[in-house]
Amino acid sequence: MLNEKIQEGLTKQLNRELESSQLYLYMASWVERKGYEGICEFLYDHSNEERNHMLKLIRYINKRRGNVILNNNGFSIINNITCISLKDLFIKLFEHEKKISREINFLVEISLQEKDYFTYNFLQWYVEEQIEEEALSKMILDKIELIGTDKGGLYFFDKDMKNFHKKKNCD
């Protein structure tokens, strides 16, 4: 059974994952309207990936006989997003991933303080995942900054993202 602090932390995290899924979905839609086929597929995939992260938490909470509480109060992060450019979008995304990493680290710290080694062990998957998420979003941001406003560069980058999407789905 989960203690109150762990239950509260896991509940907040599963709702953050839900919010992340919605954020990626919103950004994918924005990018798709701009004509970036490859980047939108990447973002739609990541929306699904974040939803799966949420489901993983729900299943863990249920396995530990906790209570799953989904926040349906709306998502403040999405309401505050205005994208002016692809670069702006990926800056926001990178900042969001760094915030999620801080929250995962905080949850790991709570699990150690509460001596809940089951949860500590479970969270190691999220720690590894966040290392990958931050590195990937930073790599994409770096490439976009390198390309700048070169339309040809953006075109080829979008094609590369489409190939990245196809390759990832084949792995």
17 is in an annotated binding site: yes
Q: Residue 23's closest CA among 91, 71, 76, 68? A: 76
97 is in an annotated binding site: yes
133 is in an annotated binding site: no
d(CA 41, CA 134): 19
CB distance 120 to 12 below 8 Å: no
| H/E element, 111 | helix 86-113
Binding-site residues sit at 17, 50, 53, 97, 130
Binding-site residues for Fe cation sit at 17, 50, 53, 97, 130
